Amino acid sequence: MERTDVLVVGGGGTGTGIVRDLAMRGLDTTLVDRGGLGSGTTGRSHGLLHSGARYAEADATGARECIAENEILREIAGECIAETGGLFVQLDADDPAYFDAKRDACREHGIPAEELTPAEAQDEVPDLTDDVERALSVPDGVIYPSRLVAATAADARAHGARILPDAPVTDLLIEDDAVVGAAVDHEVGEIRADHVVNATGAWADQLGSMAGVDLDMKPTRGVMIGVEYSDLGPVLNRCRPPDDGDIVVPHGEQVVLGTTSVAVEDPDDYEQAEWEVERTVEECAAMLPSVADAEQTRTYWGVRPLYGPEEDELGDERGISRGFFVVDHADRDGLDGFTSVVGGKLTTHRLMAEAAVDHIAERLGVDAACRTAEEQLTAHDDPDRLDALVEEFDAAGPADADVVGRR
């Protein structure tokens, strides 16, 4: 039987961010994932490094978090990201007042935003539709999720953490109204811990149910389609209220089109509908017409780990907060030693981890400060080493399959 200060369950962006932060603050910590690192939503996301512009007019907190974390990741994450820039394009069917509101909100929240004429936008993206009325240039970028989780885990390990992919938790150990560890399959056995973190994203209810707590997650699925298209340059975002098929993410020789938002009951078993693919391609082609007939290289779905209690009154899944939540089950459910960290975005994973570890450190009486924003990730500047880490942690996923390991 193993013993650790903190056991982190889930090796996506959130869990790897948490284990790195814990280890850097001097805590003994172990991370387990039922599969490879990033094999949940992280490795199946769209991989947009948000500037915050997407949220600017509707969610000031989310927008400010994104621009701050975007700037931090540019400093610490090296070849785990690509600094492509991004455009929000207003087409002739789109409401000009929405564009104005987004531009003004970006500037209010400290997101650099330069308005471009159609000619200037087409100068950046020659294949952009002639329906473009104007564009907003913002510091969006691209995340390669498999490299990010592998580098973050490797950094945690360099600070003393144990990282165990292929280690599914089958039960939580409970004694005297406290979670005291987990039973882990695949010959790992029991791991006892002073604190257990539920960083299982869309699976948070499944893990929570092992301790008798209900997080009321409201996961939604979305499709992404990789197509052949070289040298797009910036990320393309449709400048209209969030809808299906409004983002094109550049990946060198390909672009990734996305996405949709449909509620699912079970993150392991959901419909993958052809209409989602067709609609996403059609909508993205409204911005970049040549993707309509481009060769499709891969299609994959991911499931957003949305936290249900924040659902807005409209009951629209797109209205569910993209913010994150640190849920202390001692306060909420009378269960000590157990914290869930849910919601959020890959762009803000480091901040989520900082908030969670601030909370856990306080519970454990540790007062070391967070340093994850100041120190660069292991191998951040070496794509070959990063790709070797991806292999070692079994972190390859569809989101960046056309880039990672292809050198």
Ligand X SMILES: Cc1cc2nc3c(=O)[nH]c(=O)nc-3n(C[C@H](O)[C@H](O)[C@H](O)COP(=O)(O)OP(=O)(O)OC[C@H]3O[C@@H](n4cnc5c(N)ncnc54)[C@H](O)[C@@H]3O)c2cc1C
> x/- binding map, residues 88-107, to ligand X, per CB under 6 A?
--------------------
Residues 27-46 that bind ligand X (CB under 6 A): 32-35, 39-42, 45-46
Q: Is 308 a binder of ligand X (CB under 6 A)? A: no
For ligand X, the nearest residue by Cβ is: 12
Report which of 176, 203, 184 is spatially closest to residue 12, judged by C-alpha positions: 203
* CA–CA distance, 166 with 233 (Å, rounded to integer): 37
Q: For residue 86, what are its two tokens?
A: 């991004």
Q: Is 12 a binder of ligand X (CB under 6 A)? A: yes
Q: What is the CA radius of gyration of the chain?
A: 21
Of 7, 8, 11, 146, the one binding ligand X (CB under 6 A) is 11
Across the strands, what pairs with 172?
182
Q: Is 147 a binder of ligand X (CB under 6 A)? A: no
Q: Return the number of the residue (159 or 345) whose C-beta is nearest ligand X.
A: 345
Q: Is 302 a binder of ligand X (CB under 6 A)? A: yes
Q: Return the number of the residue (134 or 199) whose C-beta is nearest ligand X.
A: 199
Residue 174: phi and psi, rounded to 5, are -125, 130
* Sole window of 47-55, 230-238, 277-285, 291-299 interacting with ligand X (rule: CB under 6 A): 47-55
* CA–CA distance, 179 with 337 (Å, rounded to integer): 5
Tell the residue number behind the tokens 């292929």, with chain if given.
Answer: 166
- Please work out the total of residues on this chain that contact ligand X, with binding judged by CB under 6 A: 38
Q: Is 202 a binder of ligand X (CB under 6 A)? A: yes
Tell me the closest approach of the beta carbon of residue 332 to ligand X, in angstroms.
Answer: 19
Tell me the closest approach of the beta carbon of residue 200 to ligand X, in angstroms.
Answer: 4
Residue 274 burial (C-beta neighbours within 10 Å; 0-12, 13-18, 19+): exposed
Q: Is 165 a binder of ligand X (CB under 6 A)? A: no
Tell me the closest approach of the beta carbon of residue 165 to ligand X, in angstroms.
Answer: 9
* CA–CA distance, 115 with 144 (Å, rounded to integer): 28
Tell me the closest approach of the beta carbon of residue 182 to ligand X, in angstroms.
Answer: 8
Tell me the closest approach of the beta carbon of residue 119 to ligand X, in angstroms.
Answer: 29
Tell me the closest approach of the beta carbon of residue 8 to ligand X, in angstroms.
Answer: 10
Q: Return the H-helix or E-strand segment holding 119.
A: helix 118-124
> x/- binding map, residues 50-69, to ligand X, per CB under 6 A?
x-------------------
Report which of 49, 91, 52, 44 is spatially closest to residue 288, judged by C-alpha positions: 91
- 101-106 long-range contacts (CB < 8 A, ≥24 apart) are 101/57, 102/53, 102/56, 102/57, 102/136, 102/239, 103/136, 104/57, 105/56, 105/57, 105/60, 105/63, 106/51, 106/52, 106/53, 106/56, 106/63, 106/136, 106/138
Q: Is 128 a binder of ligand X (CB under 6 A)? A: no
Rule CB under 6 A: which residues touch ligand X?
9-15, 32-35, 39-42, 45-48, 50, 168-169, 199-203, 207, 222, 259, 302-305, 344-347
